[in-house]
Amino acid sequence: MVIFAGQGDARRSMALLWRSASSQGTRAAPGPKPGLDVDTIVAAGIAVADEQGMAALSMRAVGAWLGRTAMALYTYVPSKSELVDLMHDRVLAELPTAYDTAAGWRTAIADWAEDTWAFYLRHPWVLQVSQARPVLGPGEYTQLETVVRIMQGAGLDPLRTRRVIAVLFQFVRGMTRIAAERRQAAPETGVSDEEWWAERTALLTEVAPDFAERFPALAALESHATAAAADGVRGELADTTPYLEREAREAFRVGLELILAGIAPADRPDPDNPAQATPGTR
C-alpha cells in the first residue's frame, strides 16, 4: 500500500503544516469552546495508524478514537489527505535533532541511522507514505537539516552531499521496510515464519532435488552463512529478536558500513580516478 502525500488542498495543507493563522478553523455556530483541535486530531490519527495500520485510517476511525463523529473533525482538518500529511510530519518530531560529531561524522550518521531504523519500526505506516512527493512540512525539513549538518563534516561538494544524503535516506527506509514487513507477515497471514519456511523448504527439496547441483555457489553460501549465523545466535542468547528480523538488522548494519566507508571526503584522492591522483602517485 503506497500513499502519496500532498493530495489534499495545497493551500490548506501547507497552512496546517506550518500553523499559519488561517489554518486554525472556525466554528459555524456559537457555543462553548470545543474539546478538539488540530493537534488532538493528528495525535489520534497517529495512534490509529500505530495500532491498526494505514489501511484502517479514516476520518471516521479517528473520530471514533476521540469519541466524536467524522463530521466533527472537518472544521479542523479538511480530509484524510491533509490528515496524512500532518501525521507524517508530526511523528518525525520524535527523531533527535542533534548529534555529537566529536567522534567524526561517520559515527554521528551511524547513530542517526540507528535512531531512524528504530523510529520506522515503531511507526511502520510512515514507510507507506511515498517520498516521490514530500510533505514539505517543518518536521520533514528538520530531519533533513539534521543530516545535512552532520554531513558538512564529510568535506563533500554540495551536489555530492545532496546525492549521498538521498542514498542514506533511501537505504535506511528500504532496509527498515524489510524488517517491518517481516514483523507484519505472521499476524497478517496467520502463518508463522517457521511454518512458512518449513513447508516450502520441504516442497523445494521435493520439486528440486538437484537444487545444490543447479545452484552450487548459492547452496554453499547458504550452508556456511547459516552455520555462522547459528554460532552468532548462540553467542547472543539474550537476543530474542526473531531470526529473519535479526538478519535484516545485521544486513542493515553491514550495508551502512559499506556506504559510509565509500564516502570519501573531497580532499581524499580516488585511486580509481587518475584525474584526482596526487602529484607523484602516477
Tell me the pLDDT tens digit for each residue of 32-44.
445 799 999 999 9
pTM: 0.83
pLDDT tens digits, residue range 125-180? Answer: 999 999 899 999 999 999 999 999 999 999 999 999 999 999 999 999 999 999 99
Model confidence at 245: pLDDT above 90: no
Q: Is residue 121 within 8 Å of residue 180, measured between CB atoms?
A: yes
Q: What angle do CA 213, 219, 221 make, to 5 degrees?
A: 145
pLDDT of residue 279: 37
Cα 145 versus chain centre, distance: 17
pLDDT of residue 204: 93
pLDDT of residue 275: 47
| Range picked from 5-9, 16-20, 211-215, 236-240 for highest mean pLDDT | 211-215
How much of the chain, in percent, has pLDDT values that exceed 90?
Answer: 70
| Average pLDDT estimate for 11-26 | 74
Q: Is residue 165 within 8 Å of residue 151, measured between CB atoms?
A: yes
pLDDT of residue 29: 45
Mean pLDDT in the chain?
86
Cα 93 versus chain centre, distance: 14
Q: Is residue 252 within 8 Å of residue 176, measured between CB atoms?
A: yes
pLDDT of residue 265: 65
pLDDT tens digits, residue range 47-105? Answer: 999 999 999 999 999 999 999 999 999 999 999 999 999 999 999 999 999 999 999 99
Q: Is residue 95 within 8 Å of residue 143, measured between CB atoms?
A: yes
pLDDT tens digits, residue range 102-130? Answer: 999 999 999 999 999 999 999 999 999 99
CB atoms within 10 A of CB 256: 20
Band (227; pLDDT cuts 50, 70, 90): confident
Q: In the numeric block, which cell numbers belong to residue 71?
A: 463530521
H/E element, 212? helix 211-214
